[in-house]
Amino acid sequence: MNAFDLHGKVILVTGGAGFLAEHFVTSLLEAGAKVALADIALKAVQARAQKLRENVVPVHMDVTKQDSVDEAFAAVIKEFGRIDVVVNNAAIDPKFDPNSSANTKVFENYPEEAMEQSVDVNMLGTWRVSKAAVKHMLESGGGNIISISSMYGLSVPHQDIYPEGTQKPVDYGMTKAAIQYLTKYIAGTYGQKNIRANALVLGGVFKNHDDAFVEKYAKYTMLGRMTDPAEIGAPLVFLASEASKGMTGHLLVVDAGWSA
Ligand SMILES: NC(=O)c1ccc[n+]([C@@H]2O[C@H](COP(=O)([O-])OP(=O)(O)OC[C@H]3O[C@@H](n4cnc5c(N)ncnc54)[C@H](O)[C@@H]3O)[C@@H](O)[C@H]2O)c1
């Protein structure tokens, strides 16, 4: 099982203060990696790093600003000497506010600003971080970029699982589909420079969703349930490690069978 060992690897995870990052980082640390937790919410990553203690550093990064991304890369490289793996995990997942005006609840009236924000964080943010990663990895002799995508980048929502009168907005899946293209683009362009790029494509991960939602969601999956947070760390370790060294340009789907 040595191929899964991450001792000696430095891994930068964006969106390090978020829900899934906690599970990702715990698994990466268990496999032996040193981890940099990057997020716009600096206090939250500092608190998480303090809790995890060894082999973790917090760093401020706003993925909507290339300068901020580059500064964060420089700080992590100063701390750990290099970055071997970058995990593009930061994103926003827009939801309809039932109290907002009705005309923003449907596709045909979806506000331009909401679309622009998703594109800036989810799509362009992943692009900015990947640019910094490729630049560093070309200098250091190689590396590995993993982008966290969604089943909604592969297939469209069943709107009937969402509360009546609301929709899952279009921007989330659009930007996640773009990340999947970016993954293949980087894989194709830099494969022979020893840089791999893969995407981890997740289904809805259970986080105290109400029973009615879980029941409706589960009917569209093969396993009859949402994805468990405990199921996402090991696939990330696989993609980050030598165990997947023959894989690039791949979309690894962990969605309880939703998209199939
Ligand atoms: N939770 C799920 O069910 C699920 C399912 C499929 C895919 N995903 C994907 O997994 C990833 C993590 O999701 P999550 O549920 O942990 O989300 P989350 O909202 O808990 O975490 C996202 C993190 O990104 C950070 N962030 C937002 N804007 C930023 C910016 N401009 N610069 C830097 N950081 C910024 C936030 O501060 C937050 O800590 C996302 O890419 C999401 O699309 C999540």
Cα 92 to ligand 1 centre (Å)? 6
The pLDDT value given to residue 53: 82
- What is the pLDDT, as a whole number, of residue 179? 98
Contact between 69 and 85 (Cβ < 8 Å): no
The residue type at 92: I
User: Which has the closest alpha carbon to 88: 120, 58, 122, 117?
Assistant: 122
Element of type H or E holding 251: strand 251-254
User: Ligand 1: which of 86, 149, 150 to mutate, most ligand atoms within 8 Å of CB?
Assistant: 150
Atom of ligand 1 nearest to the CA of 205: 3
What is the distance in A from the centroid of ligand 1 to the CA of 158? Answer: 21
Task: Give distance in angstroms: CA of 115 to centre of ligand 1.
Answer: 16
Contact 22, 46 (CB under 8 A): no
Rounded to the nearest angstrom, the distance between the alpha carbon of 14 and the centre of ligand 1 is 9
Question: What are the two backbone dihedrals, phi and then psi, of residue 252, each rounded to the nearest 5 degrees?
Answer: -90, 110
Q: Which atom of ligand 1 has the smallest separation from the CA of 44? A: 39
What's the CA-to-centroid distance between 138 and ligand 1, angstroms? 27
pLDDT in tens, the chain (260 residues): 699 999 999 999 999 999 999 999 999 999 999 999 999 999 999 999 999 989 999 999 999 999 999 999 999 999 999 999 999 999 999 877 666 665 566 888 888 999 999 999 999 999 999 999 999 999 999 999 999 999 999 999 999 999 887 889 999 999 999 999 999 999 999 999 999 999 999 999 999 999 999 999 999 999 999 999 999 999 999 999 999 999 999 999 999 999 99
Rounded to whole angstroms, how far apart are CA atoms 30 and 186? Answer: 28
Where are the chain's structural domains?
2-254
Nearest Cα to Cα of residue 76 among 126, 46, 34, 139: 34
Can you read off the two tokens belonging to residue 90? 């930061």
Cα(99) to ligand 1 centroid in Å equals 23
Across the chain, which distance is largest between two alpha carbons, in Å?
Answer: 55
Atom of ligand 1 nearest to the CA of 63: 32
Residues near ligand 1 (Cβ within 6 A):
14-15, 17-21, 39-41, 61-64, 89-93, 121, 125, 148, 150, 202, 204-205
Residue linked to tokens 């340009």: 249
The rounded distance, in Å, linking the Cα atoms of 222 and 212 is: 18
Question: Which residues are CB-neighbours of 190 under 8 A, at least 6 positions away?
Answer: 134, 137, 138, 197
Ligand 1 atom 18 nearest Cα: 18
CA of 88 to the centre of ligand 1 (A): 9
Q: Which atom of ligand 1 is nearest to the CA of 45?
A: 39
CATH entry 3.40.50.1360 includes domain 2-254: no
**Interatomic CA distance for residues 166 and 58, integer angstroms:** 37
Which pLDDT score is estimated for 177? 98
